[in-house]
Amino acid sequence: MINSFKKLFQSSPLCVALLDDTLICREISTTWRNYLNLKTTDVIAISVEELLQDLRDSTLMNQIEQVAYKGHIIHESPATLFPRNQSIKLPQKGLLSAWRTISLHTKKIWVLLAFNNIAGYSQTSSELRRLQTIHELILNAAGEGVYGVDSQGNTIFVNEAATQILGWREIDVIGKPLHDIHHHSYPDGSPYPSRECPIYAAIKDGKVHRGDNEVFWHTNGTAVPVEYTSTPIREDNQLAGAVVIFRDITERKKNERQRSLAYEQIKKLKDLLERERDYLRDEINITINFGEIIGESQALKRTLNQIEAVAKMPTSVLILGESGVGKEMIARAIHANSSRANQQLVKVNCASIPKNLFESEFFGHVRGSFTGAHRDRIGRFQLAQGGTLFLDEIGEIPIDLQGKLLRVVQEHEFERVGDDQTIKSNVRIIAATNRNLKVEVDAGRFREDLFYRLSVFPIEVPPLRERIKDIGPLASHFLSGICTELGHEPLSLTRHQLDILNRYPWPGNIRELKNVIERAVILTKGKRLRLDLAMPDNEESKQTPENITSLEETGFVTDAVFREKEKINMCAALRHANWRISGTDGAAELLGVKPSTLAYRLNLYGIKKPD
């Protein structure tokens, strides 16, 4: 067979060699002989390793062996000829093809090698290496991590940023499934199946996939939050793999958590400030309308002594009294003199809370706990934490809801509506009512256990009719404050007007007194307070039965007697007013007539100021 192909080898412009089944070269073309400096008469017996330099790399050697033993074909694989004398000739680079042939007569196996020297191959290879280097520099200069995977999901390249972010070196990942290396588990540690991996999905469906709430696992076992994009790679219109670009978002996640916590804190503070603003408005309103507790009556002094005794104690207080007697002012005085004075006093009007919102109002709720709960809400107990909670009109709470209040008063803990987290309560309770709670307990309208919890220290505020001595100071205080509030010039009360105020029973107590004074200021056009127009049923124009002597008891008097008595009465008023006719506390004001009328009568009766 060698003889048959001898002329072919000698005339071929290519480097052609014929190997036996032991991969020993038995014949070689003239072109290859010349490259190796062999004579045409030399017998050839050269191993394949002496022909090709690349065989030092076992990959090409394995390929040639596969040609000999299994009939594989090598088609234009890069190779380098091995010169026998490197000092004379340089290695030649080109493309190697190889195939197997079997002798028809001897059935002997031969391997035919054909090497094609490509002009400029070296320059092309150098350019390719240069471009590869540039691409690697670009990839390594990128701030984001970059991975490349083939169609099977195995890693084919990795840049420097990816190594810095995750710690995985190129030697650790090349040729291995990317998902199994650092995308194998969810953040909670549960397995992350590769079939669900968006990175691999790009290889399957040819679409771009993104992830922004996942983690890649570091070599040290920690989870690194990342956002990534997996973009498919196509070659000859076929999916050949994907490129994965990712960035470490640990700092961003940290900032987001801090912002979220700050937002929640701001939201809570906003809710708290809104409620404290409302209570501050009430506080200002109370200060303007009532000021400090005013009065010198013995009844009031007894109440103040009780306030002083209980204020420093953590004891629950029950304030009893008619509507308008100032029960809230008593509660504020207790709080102001307690150890909780620097904390807030939160007021709840129990009568104004709808039954279906009782728990939400007292204990708060979480968003979505019921229809209309669009945001978290702080309850009154939580708002009053560390301070005092004033439960006004406690007797108005329905009996079926009193048990819920009893629990927090007794156990000092509660839960917001829709929340299973128990909140400890540190609140002092002051309750107030105008009802007789003992009667309510006997009637089954108020829980006895709640009554005894609230009434550890009861304080009964006396009605205004039992504090006659306090009416004048209260009225003067209200008059001064209301004039300032309404922008009216200062007014004062006469002794006659004070007598009228002292005679009135004041069923509405202090609140009614304040309303009467305000109404009088509004009706006053000049400098004299028109209390006569403000008193209920024009009370000033009436005299009480005790001050009017019945005609049945005294009969009647003559006109002369009546005029003499009138003259004596006018003289008494003039002496009391130090002979001043008009002005505040003048004789005309004391007699309840106009100064011009009094002057006319004095002239009529010839009454003059003594020398």
pLDDT at residue 388 greater than cutoff 90: yes
In this predicted structure, what is the pLDDT of residue 57? 59
**Model pLDDT, residue 483:** 92
pLDDT digits (tens, 9 = 90+) for 219-255: 888 888 988 988 998 888 888 888 888 888 888 888 8
Spatial neighbors of 310 by CB under 8 A, at least 6 apart, are 317, 334, 457, 459
Cα dihedral sign for 325, 330, 331, 336? positive
Model confidence at 119: pLDDT above 70? no
- As a whole-number percent, the residues of the chain with pLDDT over 90 amount to 17
Q: How many angstroms separate the CA atoms of 489 and 393, rounded?
A: 37
Question: Which stretch of 39-48, 476-485, 511-520 has the lowest confidence by average pLDDT?
Answer: 39-48
**pLDDT reading at 214 higher than 90:** no
Rg (CA), the chain: 54
What band does 86 get if pLDDT is binned at 50, 70 and 90?
low
Q: Which two tokens stand for residue 327?
A: 């029960």
Q: Answer whether residue 97 shows pLDDT above 60.
A: yes
> 398-441: per-residue pLDDT in tens?
888 888 889 988 888 888 888 878 888 899 999 999 989 999 99
102: tokens are 């079997």
pLDDT-based confidence at residue 127 (cuts at 50, 70, 90): low
For residue 189, what pLDDT is reported? 83
DSSP state of 84: S
Is the pLDDT reported for residue 156 higher than 50? yes
Under 8 Å CB-to-CB from 163, ≥6 apart: which residues? 169, 170
Structure tokens at 121: 């191959």
Q: How much is the mean pLDDT over the chain?
A: 82
Question: How far apart (Å, rounded) are the C-alpha atoms in residues 148 and 155?
Answer: 6
Bridge-based pairing state of the strands 377-378 and 74-80? unpaired
The CA-atom distances, in angstroms, between 540 and each of 248, 455, 496, 537, 583 are 86, 41, 9, 9, 19
Please list the alpha-helical segments (H only) found in 168-297. 170-173, 178-182, 198-205, 250-289
Please say if the pLDDT value at position 550 is more than 60: no
Tokens of 314: 């953590």
Q: What is the largest CA-CA distance in the chain?
A: 182
- Cα 284 from Cα 287, distance rounded (Å): 5
The predicted model gives 2-25 an average pLDDT of: 76
Per-residue pLDDT of 358-370, as tens digits, reads 888 888 888 777 7
pTM: 0.48
pLDDT in tens, 432-488: 999 899 999 999 999 999 999 998 999 999 999 989 999 999 999 999 999 999 888
Structure-block tokens of residue 318: 């029950």
Which of the four pLDDT bands, split at 50, 70 and 90, describes residue 548?
very low
Whether pLDDT at 591 is above 90: no
Q: What is the per-residue pLDDT for 267?
A: 80
Confidence category of residue 31, pLDDT binned at 50, 70, 90:
confident
* Alpha carbon separation from 585 to 493, 496, 498 (Å, rounded): 9, 8, 11
Q: Are 454 and 411 in contact (CB under 8 A)?
A: no
Collapsed DSSP state (helix, strand, coil) of residue 92 = coil
pLDDT at 478: 92
* Per-residue pLDDT, 553: 47
Q: Which residues pair with 110 in a beta bridge?
A: 101
Q: Among 239, 182, 180, which Cα is nearest to 207's?
A: 239
pLDDT for position 319: 94
Compute φ and ψ for 466, nearest 5 degrees.
-95, 5
| Residue pair 1/20 in contact by the 8 Å Cβ criterion | no
Owner of token pair 């190889």: 98
Distance CA 189, CA 381 (A): 41
| Residue 22 clears pLDDT 80, i.e. is over it | yes
CA separation, residue 472 to residues 203, 499, 538 (Å) = 93, 9, 19
The model's confidence at residue 280, banded by pLDDT at 50, 70 and 90, is low
* Lowest mean pLDDT across 16-20, 36-40, 340-344, 390-394: 36-40
Q: What is the pLDDT of residue 290?
A: 37
Instruction: Give the whole-angstrom CA distance, residue 100 versus residue 35.
Output: 24
Confidence of residue 139 (pLDDT cuts 50, 70, 90): low
**What gap in Å lies between CA 573 and CA 125, rounded to an integer?**
131
Report the alpha-carbon distance of residue 389 to residue 425 in Å, rounded: 11
Q: Which of 347, 363, 358, 433 is nearest to 395 (CA)?
A: 433
